[in-house]
Amino acid sequence: MTDAGPARGGMRALFVLTILTGSFLLFLVQPMIARIALPRLGGAPAVWNSAMLVYQALLLGGYGYAHLLGRVAPRRQGIVHLGVLLAACAFLPIGLTDRVLPADAEPALWVPYLFAISIGPLFFAVSAQAPLLQRWFATVRPGADPYALYAASNLGSFAGLLAFPLLMEPMLSVTRQRWAWSGGYVLLIALVVGCALRLPAGRAPAIAAARQPAPTRAMVARWIVLGFVPSGMMLATSTFVSTDLVAMPLLWVIPLGLYLLSFSIAFAARRDLADMLTSAAPITIVLFGGVMMGGFADRATLSAIMALLLLFMIAVALHTRLYRLRPEPARLTGFYLAMSFGGALGGVFAGLIAPALFDWTWEYPLLILASGLLVPQTYLSAGLRAFWHRRGVIVGASIAIAVVLVIAASITAGEPGGWRELRHPVPIFTAIALAGLLTLGARAPYMLVLASGLLLFGGLRSVSLSLEPGARLRSYFGVYTVAQEARRRTLTHGTTLHGVQLTGSPARERRPTTYYTPDSGVGHAMRAAPLLFGPGARIGVVGLGTGTLACYAQPGQHWTFYEIDPAMAALSRARRFTFLADCAPHAAIVLGDARRSLERAPAASLDLLALDAFSSDAVPMHLLTREAFALYARVLSRHGVLAVHISNRFVNLRPVIAAAARAGGWQALVLDHAPSLLQEEETPSSWVVMTRDPWALAIATGRGDWRALRPRPGFRPWTDDYASIVPLLTL
């Protein structure tokens, strides 16, 4: 009897370690495989969306397999699962298959197929770990609560998620990452063997131990909805923050990490923290949910913190409610299957449906409203409870709140909208906060107060922009807003200025602006093109944007724009910006990932190539590797010039370009252009001009404060096998 305690503790530790290892590998493989696919499949959003769809489908399949496996005897479950794990070893080391995407293939079908046949069996086998091992633990430890192990599972997921960008990617090449993950998979098999050996032999299936009736359809629907909203909210927060607040690389890790941590808190054995955060969630939603609609860029960091806190509180509250609705351990796998199905639906809604359906991140306020409707609420005091339970009070208060909202909306009508432009933001916020606190527990008035905050702090302005034809355009790359100001038209991508066209006269409309003015680095190179390459110069531009660079076009030149986002081509064709139509109407636009498009281009088919492919402040890694620069060298003529735009608020790209230049035998100069305060159409910019011909470099750079691009000592060059943003962050 004295050994029972240590033995039970050792058994629990084994199961916890096995679940941690499986979840760690599961969330490590997701960004790893996407990174491996980047050079081959390009950076098109269809690739990333297809990858996420495959992950969600395989996760559902793994949970469904774990649920069905519960119908057989425990020892047989172990044998079957080990057989599945061993069969999947045929796909080690992990990586993409060598099959090549056919030229006439439909990416929406082919890319998911490629991911599925490459990592499908491995991902499927590992994804079943969490629910299956919890059920095994309930079998070998009758009476113990297996749900606490789900907290350990999500800690492992969180660790795997952070390990890739912070450890694996900076320290290991892709090849070594593949072998390291494969070694972890072999370790996982050994741990599963240890767990399977502890399963009892000869018992009836665990499903027979269920003592309570099967969950009703209404209960299963609750599980699905409570899985749907936090999952959708996580993706919507990532989109909203990176689009409207801070376009910072790796930012997507934080919402996903908070989402995973919320499970660890909600399913923990100790309930104090989960209960405390759940009680505070409706207060957080009414305080922060409404004002987040404004997306105030002048306080971007504070706004991002508020948005992340809001996500965390919502996820903890709704996952805690899920925990409170959990069935007995015998029905555990069905519970996780329904929750996973809801999570997959939330991901599909926020990641695929919403970008195609909405012209802005409308999924964000919609999911905030859904969260307010679902989070548990309690009255602040017994007196308020008695007040709200009086007959007719809720109806009367709801009508009063609606009337006040209409009056406030009429007062703010014609205002530009948002926190900064609201005439009296502090009193309005205070009134909404106070009303929200007083209505806690009374769901209908509370929801009206929350909706009022969403509408007054940016919602009305967003509605007016959505109703204005052509003001907003959304694609899988983000939200583009076109604004007509005094004598100029602007395009913003989230918080990043994408282009400015002056208006008022034909000369003004043809003037290059922002990062592309004549005194910028690319302006020098473009003006030198006729002297370098003659009247028939062949000019290529990676990244169309508003088409500003087209106004350097000269008669007889041949221009080609490589653009990944069809929305940008539609914007130029709709003549919202007329640079292309006015200056280079015969220019070709090649849609698709630029690297893949250039791979199909003939050798020496361009004389000057401008690389301006940055979407907001995101960094397209696969366009900046040594292999990519070797491709640029192939498509450029012998005296060809490459101009690379490296302006970025968060990442210092100079070491990357310098290392690629040294490896490829390029000579490179950089120009940091700081315009005069009087030139409002100009913005600061940094351009690197590169060539393998010293004479061409001298002509292309011309005047200006050009400086040699110095390599960073000890910096590891980017290749298709290795690239990391972490050493380059300038936060």
Digit-coded pLDDT (tens) for 360-369: 888 999 999 9
Of the listed ranges 214-228, 356-370, 409-423, 710-724, the least confidently predicted one is 409-423
> Which DSSP letter does residue 176 get?
H
CATH 3.40.50.150 for domain 518-728, yes or no, is: yes
Which residues are paired to 643 by β-bridges? Answer: 610, 689
Instruction: Map residue 617 onto helix, strand or coil.
Output: coil
pLDDT at 249 over 60: no
Return d(Cα 260, Cα 491) in angstroms, integer: 36
Question: Following CA atoms 272, 273, 276, 278 in sequence, which dihedral angle do they give, to the nearest 10 degrees?
Answer: -120
- Specify the pairing of strand 496-502 against strand 707-708: unpaired
pLDDT of 419 reads: 39
Q: Which stretches of 557-693 are DSSP H helices?
A: 566-573, 579-583, 594-599, 626-635, 654-664
- Of the two residues 112 and 199, the one the predictor is more confident about is 199
Best-predicted range by mean pLDDT (16-30, 205-219, 348-362): 16-30
Is the domain defined by 1-207 classed in CATH 1.10.3210.10?
A: no
Q: What is the pTM of this model?
A: 0.82
- Tell me which of 109-123, 315-329, 598-612 is least confident: 109-123
Strands 478-485 and 488-493: antiparallel
Q: How far apart are CA 651 and CA 350, in angstroms?
A: 28
Long-range contacts of 573-576 (CB under 8 A, 24+ apart): 574/470, 576/470, 576/482, 576/489, 576/491
pLDDT-derived band at 420 (thresholds 50, 70, 90) equals very low
**Tokens, residue 33:** 């495989």
Q: What's the farthest any 2 CA atoms get from each other in the chain?
A: 93
The C-alpha angle with vertex 582 and arms to 581 and 588, in degrees rounded to 5, equals: 40
Using the predicted structure, report yes or no on whether residue 251 has a pLDDT greater than 90: no
* Most confident residue range from 311-325, 359-373, 640-654: 311-325
pLDDT recorded at residue 675: 83
Please give the pLDDT value at position 208: 46
Supply the pLDDT for residue 562: 94
- Whether residue 416 has pLDDT greater than 50: no
Residues ≥6 apart with Cβ < 8 Å to 87: 121, 125
* pLDDT for res 472: 83
User: Of 637, 640, 647, 661, whose CA–CA distance to 709 is shortest?
Assistant: 661
Residue 250's pLDDT band (boundaries 50, 70, 90)?
Answer: low
For 680-701, the pLDDT digits (tens) are 678 899 999 999 999 999 998 8
What is d(CA 409, CA 616) in angstroms, rounded to the nearest whole number?
A: 32
Torsion sign across C-alpha atoms 15, 21, 24, 28: negative
Per-residue confidence (pLDDT) for residue 3, from 0 to 100: 46
pLDDT in tens, 120-151: 999 999 998 888 999 899 888 887 788 888 88
- 687: nearest Cα among 548, 516, 543, 562: 516
**Using only C-alpha atoms, what is the Rg of the chain?**
29
| Residue 209 vs residues 78, 139, 293, 392: alpha-carbon distances, Å | 18, 10, 49, 48
User: 487-510: string of b/e by CB count within 10 Å (b at 16+)?
Assistant: ebbbbbbbbbebbbbbeeeeeebb
> Over pLDDT 90: what percentage of the chain?
40
Q: What pLDDT is attached to residue 243?
A: 62
Other CB atoms within 10 Å distance of the CB of residue 199: 17
Q: Where are the alpha helices (DSSP H) in 468-593?
A: 506-509, 521-533, 566-573, 579-583
**In the chain, where are the structural domains located?**
1-207, 382-467, 518-728
Higher pLDDT, 463 or 659: 659
704 pLDDT more than 70: yes
Residue 74 CB burial class (10 angstroms; 0-12, 13-18, ≥19):
buried
Percent of the chain with pLDDT over 70: 87
How sure is the predictor about 465, in pLDDT bands with cuts at 50, 70 and 90?
confident
Question: Model confidence at 417, in pLDDT bands (50, 70, 90)?
Answer: very low
Among residues 682, 488, 692, the alpha carbon closest in space to that of 609 is found at 692
Full DSSP string of 205-229: PGGGG--SPPPPHHHHHHHHHHHHH
Count of beta carbons in the 10 Å neighbourhood of residue 362 = 17
Structure tokens at 44: 């098109």
By the 8 A CB rule, do 228 and 218 touch?
no
The yes-or-no verdict on residue 44 having pLDDT over 60 is no
Q: Indicate the SS3 state at residue 491.
A: strand
Q: DSSP of 5-68, one letter per residue?
A: HHHHHHHHHHHHHHHHHHHHHHHHHHHHHHHHHHHHH-S-HHHHHHHHHHHHHHHHHHHHHHHH
* CA proximity to 121, closest of 93, 79, 87, 95: 87
Query: Residues near 247 by Cβ (< 8 Å), separated by ≥ 6?
Result: 493, 494, 495, 496, 616, 617, 618, 649, 650
Three-state SS at 525:
helix
Mean pLDDT for the chain overall: 84
> 431: exposed, middle or buried (C-beta count within 10 Å: 0-12, 13-18, 19+)?
middle
Angle at 619 between CA 615 and CA 622, to 5 degrees: 110
Q: Is the pLDDT of residue 293 over 50?
A: yes
Q: Pick the more confident residue, 567 or 334.
A: 334
Residue 291 has pLDDT above 80, yes or no: no
What is the band of 418 on the pLDDT scale with cuts at 50, 70, 90? very low
Mean pLDDT of 180-204: 89
If residue 179 lies in a helix (H) or strand (E), which one and from where to where? helix 174-196
Tabulate helix, strand, coil % of the chain (nearest 5): 60, 10, 30
